[in-house]
Amino acid sequence: MSDKLQRTLVLLKPDALNRGLIGEIMHRFERVGLKIAGLKLVWSDKDTALKHYSEDLAKRRGQKVRDMMVGMITSGPVVAIAIEGVEAVEVVRKIVGETEPKSAAPGTIRGDFAHLSFSHADKSQKAVFNLIHASSSPEEAVMELSYWFLPYELQDHHPDYTRFTLLE
């Protein structure tokens, strides 16, 4: 894969599935020319959730927040998606929107379908239901993809990217 061609992880969390938003969300990635390289519906076990929500989260937001996020991601099935494209990590993050739903711009996934704030979640002692996870860096994407996909589950097919002028 070239420096510009990347794979990244997207997780549609249990709240996205409960609200029936899988197709709408996937459509947003496909319509800009991003490629689905892996896709599966899974129910996360606690070990995978603890890897995904690492000790770093506990250091930044506290162990209680980490525990709530692990509880949320293991509360129902998730759709794990490996997305590939030119500078996919950055493109996907823009489509997804800010992590805190109330701060996400209209037109982004979180801006259009979620509205909760960190302060509300903290006061309610609940995880932030923000529908979706997207890797924040190319390095994080490589690590996270390995938590959710075995190498043979990622497909290497070659659509003609040259016809997608938005990505060049």
24-43, pLDDT tens digit by residue?
A: 999 999 999 999 999 999 99
Phi, psi of 127 (to 5 degrees): -70, 155
What does the longest C-alpha to C-alpha distance in the chain come to? 49
Check whether 3 has a pLDDT greater than 80: no
Tens digits of residue pLDDT in 54-89: 888 778 888 888 898 899 999 999 999 999 999 999
List Cα–Cα distances, 17 to 35, 82, 108, in angstroms.
Answer: 21, 17, 18
CATH number of 5-149: 3.30.70.141
Mean predicted confidence (pLDDT) in 107-119? 88
Distance separating alpha carbons of residues 32 and 45, to the nearest angstrom: 32
Boundaries of every domain in the chain: 5-149
Catalytic residue IDs:
133
